[in-house]
C-alpha cells in the first residue's frame, strides 16, 4: 500500500514556495554567470565550474521543490497548476534538465570549454521546454 504524504499546512507551503523561488532564482543567476564566463576571453574556467555545479545540484532538487499543495492557489508563484495536473510530464522534463545539467557539469570539471559551449545549449533548451508549459509569465 502506498502512503501519500499529507499536504503541507499553509505556512509550510509558503516556506516551500520561498525555497523554490530562491532555488530557481539562484539557478537563473548561475545560468547568466555561466554565459558570462563562457563569453570571457579566455573563458573563465573556475567561474564556469562553479556555475555548472550550482546548476546540477539545483536541477537534482527540482522535483522535491514542487510538492502538492504549493501551487498558485496557495500563494504568489509563477508555477502553473499544470505542474500538478501533468505530473508525469513535469517529472520527465525535470529529469531531462537534470541530465543536461549533469552532462554540462561533467564537461566543466574536465576543463573542456568547447564541450561546455556545445552542451550549454542543451541546458538552455531543457530549461525552455519546461518553462513554456509550466511557468507563468512575469507580470
Residues 6+ apart with CB under 8 A from 48: 34, 37, 38, 108, 113, 116
CB 77 within 8 A of CB 96: no
Residue 26 placed within a domain: no
pLDDT in tens, 86-117: 999 999 999 999 999 999 999 999 999 999 99
3-state helix/strand/coil string of 111-132:
CCHHHHHHHHHHHHHHHHHHHH
**Domain count for the chain:** 1
* Grid cell 521546454 in the structure block, residue: 129
Residue 137 belongs to domain spanning: 42-67+78-139
Residue 49 placed within a domain: yes
pLDDT in tens, 4-29: 567 788 999 999 999 999 999 999 99
H helices present in the chain, as ranges = 10-39, 45-61, 82-85, 87-110, 113-134
Residue 21 placed within a domain: no
Q: pTM to 2 decimals?
A: 0.91
Residue 138 placed within a domain: yes
Amino acid at each position: 500500500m502506498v502512503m501519500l504524504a499529507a499536504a503541507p499546512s499553509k505556512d509550510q507551503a509558503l516556506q516551500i514556495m520561498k525555497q523554490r523561488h530562491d532555488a530557481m532564482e539562484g539557478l537563473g543567476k548561475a545560468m547568466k554567470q555561466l554565459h558570462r564566463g563562457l563569453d570571457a576571453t579566455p573563458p573563465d574556467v573556475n567561474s564556469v565550474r562553479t556555475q555548472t555545479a550550482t546548476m546540477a545540484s539545483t536541477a537534482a532538487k527540482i522535483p522535491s521543490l514542487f510538492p502538492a499543495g504549493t501551487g498558485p492557489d496557495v500563494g504568489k508563484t509563477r508555477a502553473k497548476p499544470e505542474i500538478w495536473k501533468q505530473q508525469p510530464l513535469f517529472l520527465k522534463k525535470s529529469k531531462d534538465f537534470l541530465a543536461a545539467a549533469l552532462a554540462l557539469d561533467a564537461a566543466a570539471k574536465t576543463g573542456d570549454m568547447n564541450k561546455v559551449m556545445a552542451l550549454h545549449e542543451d541546458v538552455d533548451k531543457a530549461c525552455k521546454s519546461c518553462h513554456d508549459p509550466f511557468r507563468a509569465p512575469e507580470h
